[in-house]
Amino acid sequence: QHNLVSNYTFSNFVEGKSNQLALAAANQVSENPGGAYNPLFLYGGVGLGKTHLMHAVGNALKINKPDARIVYLHSERFVADMVKALQLNAIADFKRYYRSVDALLIDDIQFFAKKDRSQEEFFHTFNALLEGGQQMILTCDRYPKEIDGLEERLKSRFGWGLTVAVEPPDLETRVAILMNKASQARLDLPPDAAFFIAQRIRSNVRELEGALKRVIASANFTRRPIDVDLVKESLKDLLALQDKQVSLDNIQRTVAEYYKIKVADLNSRRRNRSVARPRQVAMALAKELTNYSLPEIGDAFGGRDHTTVLHACRKIRELRETSSDIHEDYKNLLRLLTT
Ligand code: ADP
Ligand code: MG
């Protein structure tokens, strides 16, 4: 029992700038498991294709070697199985099982945070697999060093292989993904309709898929062909909801792009000036341009306290008067975000 999702394959995965590195790495791993990149560590926000890519590797490994034991599981499942094994006095079996696999794919390892006993078990499993040359692929919603409540030795070990970010897709890739999903569903999606959806749904691929499903449902229901009007109608509620959400997301992306850093950096714990200043600018813009409260803004920036946001707003207000660089940056960003 391997739990691989059969249609999460490489051929169903649309390549774009945002996932190019992760895709290339995943491809390498599928060709040379246990070789160059062990573990392969993919990180990034929700709905960006991490799980898909990890299954794609698993599926490819299965094709090359049908009797390979590929085990995919969510980290919560690993924890639950371990707890059960402990209760049943079967921890030796648990260990043997995980150490006997050809490849172990563990999803969303942020759930290991603060689970000390599980981390301990996983640490030993990890070492055993690495030594045995068995491939591991791990995913996480953030950069490993930034998982609070994860042991240092695990964090450092995760970096022994290759760590790659999966970024949110750009507009072009979003359009390509929609066209790809439509053609898989044997559906006629006019490019202008795809473009409209891709322009409005910017957060992640899962949301894009959800939007497309709505459009398809209403096309079936009304027996109308898909065009921009139908798209607008069927996504009306979703977009109204989205508009409130997009703004913070939009601010983060625009600021990240402006300062040539990653959105993940804005939400990270990193404190060096090159990241901390843009983060403060983004928080100040969020306060100025949205109706979100300070705690909500803090949440959106990697779960920070509202006092941090307040401090950022004050700091930026002050800097806009004393530093012409910040003044200029802030003005430019306001313009980018409001026109
Ligand atoms: P994550 O694990 O990063 O949260 P998933 O792998 O679950 O994201 O992806 C969410 C959905 O989007 C899945 O249905 C997946 O197939 C799809 N998806 C993500 N990226 C792509 C891509 N580049 N091409 C095609 N489908 C994608
Ligand atoms: Mg996932």
pLDDT tens digits, 226-240: 999 999 999 988 887
Q: Any idea what the CATH number is for the domain that residue 315 is in?
A: 1.10.1750.10
pLDDT at residue 243 greater than cutoff 80: no
Same domain, 215 and 276: no
Same domain, 41 and 175: no
CA of 227 to the centre of ligand 2 (A): 31
Among the atoms of ligand 1, which is closest to the Cα of residue 53?
Answer: 6
CA of 9 to the centre of ligand 2 (A): 14
Among the atoms of ligand 1, which is closest to the Cα of residue 16?
Answer: 23
Determine the structural domain holding residue 119 and report its residue range: 20-165
By alpha-carbon position, which residue is closest to atom 14 of ligand 1? 206
Q: Any idea what the CATH number is for the domain that residue 113 is in?
A: 3.40.50.300
Residue 154 lies in a domain: yes
Same domain, 280 and 230: no
**In which band, very low, low, confident or very high, does the pLDDT at 246 lie, cut at 50, 70 and 90?**
low
pLDDT score, position 335: 84
Same domain, 161 and 30: yes
pLDDT at residue 1 greater than cutoff 70: no
Indicate whether residue 137 lines ligand 1 (CB < 6 A).
no
210 and 203 in contact (C-beta within 8 Å)?
no
Residue 40 lies in a domain: yes
212 and 196 in contact (C-beta within 8 Å)?
no
Report the alpha-carbon distance of residue 333 to residue 337 in Å, rounded.
6
Tell me the pLDDT tens digit for each residue of 22-78. 999 999 999 999 997 999 999 999 999 999 999 999 999 999 999 999 999 999 999
By alpha-carbon position, which residue is closest to atom 25 of ligand 1? 13
Indicate whether residue 56 lines ligand 1 (CB < 6 A).
no
Say what the alpha-carbon torsion angle 125, 128, 132, 134 is, to the nearest 10 degrees. Answer: 20
Domain termination site, one of 165, 180, 206: 165
Residue 199 lies in a domain: yes
Indicate whether residue 242 lines ligand 1 (CB < 6 A).
no
pLDDT at residue 286 greater than cutoff 90: yes
**In which band, very low, low, confident or very high, does the pLDDT at 242 lie, cut at 50, 70 and 90?**
low
pLDDT score, position 263: 93
CA of 243 to the centre of ligand 1 (A): 22
By alpha-carbon position, which residue is closest to atom 23 of ligand 1? 14
Same domain, 177 and 100: no
CB-based burial, 312-332: b 16+ in 10 Å, e otherwise: bbebbeebbeeeeebeebbee
How many domains is the chain partitioned into structurally?
A: 3
Indicate whether residue 151 lines ligand 1 (CB < 6 A).
no
Select from 34, 72, 69, 36 the least CA-distant residue to 56. Answer: 72
Residue 1 lies in a domain: no
Q: What Å distances lie between residue 309 and 249, 316, 330, CA to CA?
A: 16, 11, 16
Same domain, 59 and 152: yes
State which of 205, 209, 213 you would mutate to test the pocket of ligand 1, scoring each by most atoms of that ligand within 8 A of its C-beta. Answer: 205
Report the alpha-carbon distance of residue 108 to residue 147 in Å, rounded.
11
Q: Is the dihedral of CA 174, 175, 176, 178 positive or negative?
A: positive
120, amino acid identity: E
Select from 61, 39, 48 the least CA-distant residue to 13. Answer: 48
Q: Is the dihedral of CA 195, 196, 202, 207 positive or negative?
A: negative
Residue 239 lies in a domain: no
CA of 249 to the centre of ligand 1 (A): 19
Same domain, 315 and 261: yes
Same domain, 29 and 127: yes
Residue 150 lies in a domain: yes
pLDDT score, position 289: 82
Indicate whether residue 206 lines ligand 1 (CB < 6 A).
yes
Same domain, 66 and 152: yes
Residue partners of 68: CB distance under 8 A and separation at least 6: 61, 62, 102, 103
Domain termination site, one of 165, 183, 208: 165
Residue 152 lies in a domain: yes
pLDDT score, position 293: 84
Query: What does pLDDT average to over the chain?
Result: 92
Distance of CA 215 to the CA centre of its chain: 24
pLDDT score, position 334: 87
